[in-house]
Structure 1
Amino acid sequence: MRLKSLGIVILLVMLFSFSTVPFATAGSDVSAVLRAGGGAVGGAGFVMLTGVSKIVSNAHKKVSITVVPGGWVGNITRVNVGELDLASTANTLCGLAEKGIAPLNKPFPDVRALFSVQDTMYYFMYARKDFPVDSVEELIEKKIPVRLCTLSPGSVTEMQFRNALASKNVTWDDIKKWGGKVNFVKWGDGVSLIKDGHADLICAAALGKAGWAMELATVRDMKVLKWSPALLDAINKKTGTKTATMPAGLYKGIDYTVDCPASSGEIIINAKVSDKVAYAIVKAMAEGADEYRNHHAAFRSFTAKGMPTGLFLPLHPGAAKYYQEMGYMK
């Protein structure tokens, strides 16, 4: 009788122990096959996700993350409809989606925030040194017939600069009316246009040093146009960017700092991905923060504590659970 009672006690203790195992322990048994959308192959968004895939898969052998090409605008829709389980995008775009602002002006009920990459994407106007003005305000106020280059319509970079100019009530069509030209081209084509004297500046976006910008600086003297504090404030309010200081010496001949509008990468996830899997992903990334910082120079500011900061869209409950347990958020 005594042995039987002892056996019952042991069984109850074991059941209680297993029932109270936190996600942190149970995560070692988590399994999932996930499809993740980055940006263009080799681009910032793609690199973000390849690093996530490596770190998470090393921590959880039964979690497979396949990274496929994507686009930061389209990734939000693709995650919402379940075509992607998770994806990289810009926090400013998540802000537009949260506020219902075009082109993300429809509901995204199945998109959740996962973590902030904490990188810095600088938006700046990279101009020939002989361009007649030194600031964006001068360009606008004097209605300079600028021949500029930017990426394709609807891309994050094009939208950012379109909205930045809109804060001063200027459109691409206005620039054409001034006698200027707007070239929607890839970075390499923009470089060629400036080299050949067919363009004056590139509306640029870069995580630190961009190869195409470094290449251009070797054959043409370049400068970065300055944004005024008032214009930066207007842009930040309109687009959700924050002001960040681009360091001096980033590119040849640019021996001065420039305050720029800036965004950060945000990893999003489909709401139907289980809490256990979302928990396992953010836990692996937090514990692998050192490795992620070394994955790419742009991620050198990544910290575990910073993962839940600067996010737009509702946070996935699995991620929220981990952040709360670690004291990273209330």
Structure 2
Amino acid sequence: MPRKSAFATTVACLIALFSCITPVKAAPESVNIVSGASGGSWYPISVGLAQVLTKAGTKASATLGGGNANLVSVSSGKADLGMTFTVSAAMAVNAEGPFKKPITSNRGLFLMFDNVFHTPVSVESGVQSYADLKGKPMALQPLAAGTTTQFRMILAAHGLSEDDLNVILRGGLTNGADAMKDRRAVGFVTSTAPPNGTISELAVSLPIRLLPLSDDGFAKLKAQNDGFQRASIPGGTYKGIDESVPSVGAATFMFANESMSDEDAYWIVKAVADNLDAVRKLHASMRSLDVAQMAKVAGIPLHPGAVRFYREQGVLK
């Protein structure tokens, strides 16, 4: 299915899902969500969440963003809500990696799902490991993306840096997939919730493999940031890849600025929790999401409004 048709179908399905949303009283006037790059899972999910919040009583919108950039946007008041990785949030607090100054004003609202790092490469390239990427043309994500930070850490765990690659472009997943189809790049990278639509479409038109992360490589990442978790991409997720591929994961969660009122934060979390049937249908990775899981935000403190809701539900002491 052409990309535009697939996206249009997804949006149409989302709209159909939200006809029975439960309204919640005392809604904020409006909220805007910054999410992820084009072609990834974050943006469609954020669009769906905006639909949920709008149906519940506020005026919500979603825009593109990046795991690292979102932390800056929300902390500076340029956005109300943002999606990020637990590993990025912790790095921002401690002024590590791409964050030159501590960012301590963000507060967690609810955990959403686990992302798994994907490095799809063409079978014809002969690349079978991260070490094989040396000197190869690669399409990478923008500097402000959380995926970029994670990929740099993965490269370092294999004794490499981006300087050892031939970086032909920086952009979203669709840019990377197009570069692979045109044979301009052997692969691209993303931390996403499987199955990812862009990678699924790519695998139909071009034989691909996903690079595995060894136990030693994971141990090095875990030593740098405890927010990383062992993960795998199940066999059969993408065409032509029948065996499970070991990788690394990082949870994705929604957050706000500490300046958001307790009432607004409470309303947002309650609106999502009250409409979990609709939220679970946004992506396969959220099918089992429940209130107890929503409360398991890591990397930054929970917003007091979120704490109040989770305590009322008995999932937080």
Q: Taking structure 1 as the reference length, what is the TM-score of the superposition?
A: 0.79
Structure 2 CA distance, aligned partners of 1:66 and 1:218? 32
Which residue number corresponds to residue 305 of structure 2? 318
Distance 1:229 1:105, change over 3 A: same
Q: CA deviation at 1:196?
A: 4.0
- CA displacement at 1:267 relative to structure 2: 0.6
**1:301 counterpart (288, 305, 315):** 288
Larger Rg: 1
1:91 alignment counterpart: 86
Q: What's 1:263 paired with?
A: 250
1:34 aligns with 2:38: no
What residue is the counterpart of 1:15 in the other structure? none
**TM superposition shift of 1:313:** 0.9
Identify if the C-alpha distance between structure 1 residues 283 and 133 changes in structure 2 by more than 3 Å, giving closer, same or farther: same
Shift of 1:101: 0.7
Q: Choose which of 223, 239, 253 in structure 1 pairs with 2:240.
A: 253
Q: Write the distance in 2 (CA, Å) between the matches of 1:42 and 1:189.
A: 8
Task: State yes or no: 1:280 paired with 2:273.
Answer: no
Match in the other structure for 2:202: 216
CA contact (8 A) 1:115 1:311 kept: no
The DSSP-based 3-state class of the residue aligned with 1:120 is strand
Structure 1 Cα separation of the partners of residues 300 and 100 of structure 2: 13
| Structure 2 residue 181 is the aligned partner of structure 1 residue 191 | no
Q: Which runs of 5+ in 1 are unaligned?
A: 1-26
Q: Distance in 1 between matches of 2:54 and 2:42?
A: 18
The 3 A distance-change label for structure 1 pair 196 and 261 is same
1:182 matched to which residue of 2? Answer: 167
CA distance in 2, matches of 1:235, 1:116: 22
Q: CA deviation at 1:244?
A: 1.2
Paired with 2:71 and 2:47, the residues of 1 have a C-alpha distance of 18
Q: CA deviation at 1:88?
A: 1.7
Residue in structure 1 matched with residue 193 of structure 2 by the alignment: 207
Note the C-alpha offset of 1:287: 1.9
Q: Percent identity?
A: 27
The alpha-carbon deviation at position 106 of structure 1 amounts to 1.6
| Paired residues for 1:1-330 under 5 Å | 28-40=25-37, 43-59=40-56, 61=57, 63-117=58-112, 119-132=113-126, 134-136=128-130, 139=132, 144-173=134-163, 175-176=164-165, 181-186=166-171, 187-239=173-225, 240-330=227-317
Q: In the aligned structure 1, how far is the partner of 2:31 from the partner of 2:175?
A: 35
- TM-score of the two chains, using structure 2 as the length reference: 0.82
Q: Is contact 1:49–1:87 with CA below 8 Å preserved after alignment?
A: no
Shift, 1:316, TM fit? 0.6
Please give the root-mean-square deviation of Cα atoms over the aligned residues, in Å: 2.4
Q: CA contact under 8 A between 1:167 and 1:238: conserved in structure 2?
A: no
Matched AA of 1:129? V
AA matched with 2:44: V
Letter in 2 for 1:190: G
Unpaired stretches in structure 2, ≥5 consecutive residues = 1-23
